[in-house]
Structures are given as structure tokens and as C-alpha cells.
A and B are shown apart, each in its own frame.
Chain A
Amino acid sequence: MAKRIDAKDLDIYYGKFLAVSEVNVTIEPRSVTAFIGPSGCGKSTVLRTLNRMHEVVAGASVRGEVLLDGEDIYGAGIDPVDVRRTIGMVFQRPNPFPTMSIYDNVVAGLRLQSGRIRRSELDGIVEKSLRGANLWNEVKDRLDKPGAGLSGGQQQRLCIARAIAVQPQVLLMDEPCSALDPISTLAIEDLIQELKTTYTIVIVTHNMQQAARVSDRTAFFNLAGVGKPGQLVEIDETQKIFSNPSQKRTEDYISGRFG
């Protein structure tokens, strides 16, 4: 299921403004890759180009290639909606549909994409997805209650359940724990470790210790200079990045010697 991503010579624009330049990165299947870097360096922007969410912003565009198992997701005739189903996304703030029940939240994506599905089949998917998101035992007796009634950490796991219900191959997570308390954060981190056996995961995080804890590889992004575009400074094994990075700029950032 999990697929490999190769981004090649990515230049990412907002209108005429070059936000991120020359990103070349390979993301291995069944692994967790963390994107770290200061605010405004373009890490979320790069993440959003990986499932064509970037172009949702008016005037935004991308040059270069993003290959999903060798196939360019920006190629002619590729439907962005298909891309986003294959490459799911979890956002910073848990965003369950507030008026929908827990059950309907999980299957929302499925109903959109597949029309009518038999109830028994849906029940199976809901249970499997909620189990996958480590939420089943907490909500199985109140599936008809609103998703908004759950705690922040539970809501985020509900969003993960919703993302995996459509059986994506890649999961992109944009600071999925930044609005959560430490216990919920650790629950999500444990979940990421379980999910990586099935999916390719890319996570943007401001929390460097989180990157160190959950990821196999870490990519450090930074601005090339004042008023210059963001760039990928270094990507390597997470252990290497946090014990002996190759680039001084990486070292300065993770040791707090920037600025």
C-alpha cells in the first residue's frame, strides 16, 4: 500500500513570489519523515505540494515533479482529487465536521468519493479505521454522538481515522500535535509508529524532540537568506541529524544557536 515519493527540482510559488526553491527529496515507503525548520521556511508549503493542496491557494503554482512510485502527480490528465485521496492529510487543529456524528465523520470521505455503500460495509470500515487510529475502545459506544464532543486528542485521532478510512497510501501530517496536551501528543506519536508499518508518513513539526522521537529521517528547511526563498538544507537519518548533522546551519538550528 505505502508508496515512495520523489520530489525533483521543486520550485513552489505564491503568484510570482518564489516561496521554496530547488527541493529534491526522496521519502521512502513505510517510514516516517519529519520536516523541521523555523516558521516561514516553507516546510508546510512543501508538504502541501506533495498532495496538490498547495494549488488550492489562489495564484499558487509548482514547477518540478512529484513522483508517487514513479508517476508524476502533476502530470497531464492527473485528477488532483484522486491525488488527495491517495495522499491523505491531517492538519494542525483537529477539524472534525462539527455537526456530524463520530460515525459520519469517519465515513465522510468515503461517501463523497464512492456514493452509496452498504451499511454493513461502512460499519466494518468505521471500526477498522477507528481501531487504526487507536480510538475505537473510547468511542465504540457513542458512535452516533457528535465528533465535536470529543477531547482535542480524541478529535485529532478521529481526523486520522477519517484520513485512513479512504485507504490512502501516504499520510501527510501538518503539526498534528501542536494543539494537543502532552498525553494526547504521546498517544498520537505512538499511533504514528503503528501507522508507519502500513503508510508512508511525512510530518511537519515545530517540536524538534518530536521529530527525534517519531521519525526515521529528518529534513531541515530554512530560508536561503533574508528575503530569499526557503530551501532544503539537509535530509538524513534522524539519529544522524540529532547527533552529528553534516551542515552547520542544521546544527545551529537544532542547538538553538540561530537568530
Chain B
Amino acid sequence: MRDIYHDELDAIGSLVICMAKSVAVAMERATAALLDANLQLAEQVLGGDASVDALRNEIEERCFQIIATQSPVATDLRVVISTIHLAADLERMGDLAHHVAKIARLRFPEHAVPGEVRAVFEQMGEVAHSLITKVIEVVDGRDVELAQAIEVEDDSMDALRRKLFTIVLSDRWAHGTEAAIDVTLLGRYYERYADHAVAVARHTTFIVTGERAA
């Protein structure tokens, strides 16, 4: 019964996965562009963000229509409301990849990231990739346990950011103010990226359990 309605809910779910995968690719390319001063990759990220934004708009519009016409209840209602929220988080994650790529392009042909913090950004890129990969699994399989793992992994991103601060604030920092600002902002972008991944995980947990995270 209500096949069209349930097909539409499934279709919206597929759009969310598609959006998350686009975000994953964007951050992967942005990190590579940053570490390798690769202008071409940076441009790809900057050009691709519009499609992530468009997906978010489409998801929001279709959720709106479902509420207007189908009166979803229970799990369906939680799916629709949470999807609107988590699509906003995914869009923001896309924006943060965009910001990383923008700094990479701004400093090209130089490297935006000095050698001594390169390893930290490599790790941040790895954590970011691992997070979005888990996010895709969590959203696709409504996996509450994996959602908890995302929270733990976010802590390691926070630790990496603190490490960046220590390096930039030390007396041995020899790259000047501009590089310090770049590094601080970049650290902030990765850290926020991880926070939004946590938010997506929490929205998914709410879909499954009906309980909001404390």
C-alpha cells in the first residue's frame, strides 16, 4: 500500500547517499589539491560544489512535498525531518571542502601548507575520508553502532587540530602570519567537517531510535 509514497521516500534516501558520495569525493580532492598544490583538482572541487547545493535543494523540496501531501508519521516522519537536517549538514561539509580547495588555489603554485604541518593535514584528510565513508554506511544502513564510532573518530580530529595550534603557536614557527592564518583556518575547516559528520550520525540515530542524543 502507498507504493508511490514509499518509493518517493526511498528515492529521497538515494539522493542523500548520492550527495554524501559527492561530498566524499570533494574533500578527498580538496585534500590532495592542498597537499600537492594541484590547481586542477582544486578547480574541480570549486566547480563541483554547485551540484551538491542543487542536491540539497532538491532533497529539501521533495521532503517538503511529502509533508504537504502525505502526512508522514512515526519512522517516516522522523526520516523526512531528519533528512532535511542532515542534507543541510552534508551541504555544509561540501562547503568546507570548497573552502579547503580555495586556499589551495589561492596559494598556487606555492604549497599552502608548510612541510612541518603537512603530516597533520595528511592525517586530517584521512580522518575526514574515514568519517564520510562511515557516514555513507550509517545513512544507507541506518547503522546506530557505526554512528557511535563516528563520534569517537571526531575526537581524533579535534586532537589533530590541537596539535596544529601547538605547532603554529610555538616559537619555532618560521612561516609568518599569513601561513599561520591559512593553517589555522584549514584546521578549523577539517574540524567543522568532522562535527557535521557527527551531526549526520546523530540525525540517523534519531531516525532509528526516535530519541535525541543528549
Residues of chain A having any CB pair with chain B under 8 Å: 208-209, 212, 242-245, 250-251, 254-259
Given known contacts A256-B5, A257-B6, A209 and B71 CB-to-CB distance under 8 angstroms: yes
Contact A242 B73 (CB under 8 A): yes
* Distance between Cα atoms of A242 and B74 in the complex (Å): 5
- Chain A residues contacting B2 (CB-CB under 8 Å) are 255-257
Contact B6 A208 (CB under 8 A): no
- Show 29 residue pairs from A and B whose CB-CB distance is below 8 angstroms, ordered by the A residue: A209-B71, A212-B73, A242-B77, A243-B73, A243-B74, A243-B77, A243-B78, A243-B210, A244-B74, A244-B210, A250-B74, A251-B74, A251-B75, A254-B73, A254-B74, A255-B2, A255-B72, A255-B73, A255-B74, A255-B75, A255-B76, A256-B1, A256-B2, A256-B5, A256-B6, A257-B1, A257-B2, A258-B1, A259-B1
- Chain A residues contacting B6 (CB-CB under 8 Å) are 256-257
- Chain B residues contacting A257 (CB-CB under 8 Å) are 1-2, 6
B76 CB → nearest A CB, Å: 5
Using a CB-CB cutoff of 8 Å, which residues 48-85 of chain B contact chain A? 71-78
* Distance between Cα atoms of A209 and B72 in the complex (Å): 10
B95 CB → nearest A CB, Å: 31
- Chain A residues contacting B76 (CB-CB under 8 Å) are 255
- Chain B residues contacting A212 (CB-CB under 8 Å) are 73
Contact A244 B5 (CB under 8 A): no
Chain A to chain B: the 9 pairs with minimum beta-carbon distance, closest first: A244-B210, A256-B2, A242-B73, A251-B74, A256-B1, A254-B73, A255-B76, A259-B1, A255-B74
A257 CB → nearest B CB, Å: 7
Using a CB-CB cutoff of 8 Å, which residues 115-130 of chain B contact chain A? none
Task: Across the interface, name the chain A residue whose C-beta is closest to B5.
Answer: A256
